[in-house]
């Protein structure tokens, strides 16, 4: 079932009653809203004056709801994750820890192939030169040992946003839009990984003692072009400020349709399919991660 995303940008009090999230507005009791916990997938708290009860936090965690808190600049900063998100996660953790280097190199190769292929698809969809990436995604080596990802990225960004564009976190717009979109995507991937019994802290390629979600960073690579497509449209409409409208459009990435070989699913559901297949790869039941193709 497709889950709802709740975004709180005004001071409210959030509590739990009868397994439902209750949203109450200060001095405006008639505006009280109620949402069943089982219908929620993401809760994004932007306003610094929002108050939330401990029972609600626990209930959201019990239902694998991604609870994201924003910083003073209204940028996603913290995500609360459940410690027990899947009934068989102990076994899944062992499979992750026991993954061999050849397996991890094979999985990373698949991530990069899917990413570059989707970058090429997006460029072609926008009537740009996507064919130039064809040799790159068709010749990715195990573990991407010759860094086809980096080579493709240089070509891709110049083609997508022009020769003067530099993709960097603190760079000029639309870097701000890309950063926000990727943060939302990262939280969604982490939630799906936990739901599939995997631990986001055990990465395939990304490794850093300062990174709590390296596996989410690995798996989200193939999904980044879905964010890029939305940002491209916003940028060419002149929407470069990270305002309420921009955030709303970026959060809706979770409902964008993703195409697999025999089916089409919203991105939020698509992530579940991807992470479930990854879990099976770790256990030896499958050899391929299921990634969607951007169309």
96-108 confidence digits (pLDDT tens): 999 999 999 999 9
pLDDT band at 29 (very low <50, low <70, confident <90, very high): low
Q: Which has the minimum average pLDDT: 3-12, 69-78, 154-163, 270-279?
A: 69-78
Mean pLDDT for 262-277 is 95
Q: 41 and 74 share a domain? A: yes
Does an H or E element contain 69, and which? strand 66-70
Q: 51 and 193 share a domain? A: no
Q: 62 and 105 share a domain? A: no
Q: 145 and 251 share a domain? A: yes
Q: What is the pLDDT of residues 164-208, one digit of tens each?
A: 999 998 999 999 999 999 999 999 999 999 889 998 889 999 886
Q: 103 and 57 share a domain? A: no
d(CA 52, CA 69): 11
In a domain, residue 200? The reply is: yes
Q: 157 and 276 share a domain? A: yes
Q: 44 and 184 share a domain? A: no
Here the CATH number for the domain that contains residue 245 is 1.20.120.920
Q: 71 and 123 share a domain? A: no
pLDDT at residue 40 tops 80: yes
Among 80, 106, 131, which residue terminates a domain? 80
- The fraction of the chain above a pLDDT of 90, given in percent, is 78
Number of domains forming the structure of the chain: 2
- Looking at residue 86, its pLDDT comes to 55
- Looking at residue 149, its pLDDT comes to 97
Strand partners, 243: none
Q: Record the pTM.
A: 0.88
* Residue partners of 256: CB distance under 8 A and separation at least 6: 226, 230, 266, 267
Q: 26 and 98 share a domain? A: no
- Looking at residue 128, its pLDDT comes to 98
- Looking at residue 17, its pLDDT comes to 95
Cis-peptide into 143, omega within 30 deg: no
- Looking at residue 177, its pLDDT comes to 97
Give the HSE-up count for residue 206: Cα atoms under 13 Å, Cβ half-sphere: 18
Q: 205 and 228 share a domain? A: yes
Range of the domain at 41: 4-80
């Amino acid at each position: 079932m497709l889950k709802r995303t709740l975004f709180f940008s005004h001071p409210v009090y959030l509590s739990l009653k009868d397994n439902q999230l209750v949203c109450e507005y200060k001095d405006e009791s008639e505006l009280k809203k109620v949402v069943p916990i089982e219908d929620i997938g993401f809760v994004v708290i932007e306003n610094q004056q929002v108050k939330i009860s401990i029972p609600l936090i626990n209930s959201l965690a019990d239902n694998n709801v991604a609870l994201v808190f924003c910083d003073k600049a209204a940028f996603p900063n913290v995500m609360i994750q459940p410690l027990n998100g899947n009934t068989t996660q102990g076994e899944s953790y062992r499979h992750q820890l026991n993954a061999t280097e050849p397996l991890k190199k094979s999985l990373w190769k698949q991530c990069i192939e899917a990413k570059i292929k989707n970058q090429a698809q997006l460029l072609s969809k926008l009537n740009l030169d996507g064919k130039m990436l064809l040799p790159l995604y068709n010749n990715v080596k195990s573990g991407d040992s010759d860094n086809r990802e980096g080579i493709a990225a240089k070509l891709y960004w110049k083609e997508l946003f022009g020769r003067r564009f530099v993709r960097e976190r603190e760079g000029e717009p639309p870097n701000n839009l890309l950063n926000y979109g990727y943060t939302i995507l990262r939280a969604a991937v982490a939630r799906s990984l936990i739901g599939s019994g995997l631990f986001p802290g055990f990465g395939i390629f990304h490794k850093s003692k300062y990174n709590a979600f390296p596996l989410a960073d690995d798996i989200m690579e193939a999904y980044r072009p879905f964010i890029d497509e939305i940002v491209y449209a916003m940028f060419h409409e002149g929407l470069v400020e990270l305002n309420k409208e921009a955030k709303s459009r970026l959060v809706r990435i979770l409902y964008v349709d993703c195409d697999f070989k025999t089916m089409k699913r919203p991105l939020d559901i698509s992530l579940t399919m991807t992470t479930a297949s990854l879990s099976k790869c770790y256990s030896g039941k499958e050899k391929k991660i299921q990634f969607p193709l951007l169309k």
